[in-house]
């Protein structure tokens, strides 16, 4: 059974004091995780150790960096390497978020390098893909996302992709208050799984957790997560509210 995952992406928000208070509040808010479910917290780099310590001893709960650099080490002032993240016990790394692609011009080739280096250091990528509004409106979203998958992931082995995590984020639904309908989410998630199955086989594709990211809230999570190929969510704004994110965790199937 593939993992069902509620992943928080705090983005560039919260002071350390606010972040620790949020985790304390969330820990005190009733939520449950079964054996095949995980909660992942994508927090800013300076807070990774602190939040990791807050989660010590808790089962099926992990921390994620929001990015890493594509090189092992060197004269790259301001960047953070996979080895650094490994050394502090980071579990996951969010890669290819649409904001990184748009604001920092991250290419498919760079993302493929980042994925490779995460595997080299035992970090689990959460690979983001998704289409902008103009692509959706012209009906080209399937081909657009398929190209992202092919150019960033198809160099990997079947073993590397077994249990992999992909987050589909319709860019037009991030931070806009718009949300893809549950039917739209299911259609794209099924397409992603079919693309992966064509390349790697049904067994590998069936093991991949595909998360939906795009204005997920407590009020819509259960319906979205209830779709056959939706395995949880990558949650932005709602993950900054303890009660909201606890309810989203409880919406995992």
The catalytic residue positions are 97, 169
Which residues, including other chains, have CB under 8 Å from residue 127's CB and lie 6 or more apart?
Answer: 95, 96, 111, 115, 152, 153, 164, 165, 166, 167
Beta bridge partners of 38: 5
Residue 29 token pair: 């808010």
**Burial of 25 per CB tally in 10 Å (0-12, 13-18, 19+):** middle
Q: From the CA atom positions of the chain, what is the Rg in Å? A: 17
- In three state form, how does the secondary structure of 96-115 look? CCHHHHHHHCCCHHHHHHHH
Label residue 157 exposed, middle or buried (CB < 10 Å: 0-12, 13-18, 19+): exposed
Cross-strand partners of 69? none
């Amino acid at each position: 059974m593939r993992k069902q995952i509620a992943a928080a992406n705090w983005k560039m928000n919260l002071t350390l004091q606010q972040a620790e208070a949020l985790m304390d509040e969330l820990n005190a808010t009733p939520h449950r995780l079964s054996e095949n479910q995980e909660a992942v917290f994508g927090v800013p780099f300076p807070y990774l150790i602190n939040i990791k310590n807050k989660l010590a001893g808790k089962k099926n709960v992990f921390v994620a960096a929001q990015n890493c650099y594509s090189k092992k080490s060197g004269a790259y002032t301001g960047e953070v390497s996979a080895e650094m993240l490994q050394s502090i016990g980071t579990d996951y790394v969010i890669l290819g978020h649409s904001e990184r692609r748009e604001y920092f011009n991250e290419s498919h080739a760079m993302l493929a390098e980042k994925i490779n280096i995460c595997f080299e250091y035992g970090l689990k990528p959460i690979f983001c893909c998704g289409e902008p509004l103009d692509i959706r409106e012209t009906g080209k979203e399937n081909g657009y996302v398929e190209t992202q998958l092919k150019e960033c992931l198809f160099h990997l082995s079947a073993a590397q992709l077994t249990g992999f995590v992909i987050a589909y984020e319709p860019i037009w639904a991030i931070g806009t208050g718009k949300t893809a309908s549950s039917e739209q989410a299911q259609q794209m998630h099924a397409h992603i799984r079919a693309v992966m199955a064509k390349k790697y086989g049904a067994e590998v594709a069936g093991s991949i957790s595909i998360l939906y990211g795009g204005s997920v809230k407590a009020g819509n999570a259960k319906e979205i997560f209830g779709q056959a190929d939706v395995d949880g969510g990558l949650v932005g704004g709602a993950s900054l509210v303890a009660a909201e994110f606890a309810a989203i965790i409880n919406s995992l199937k």
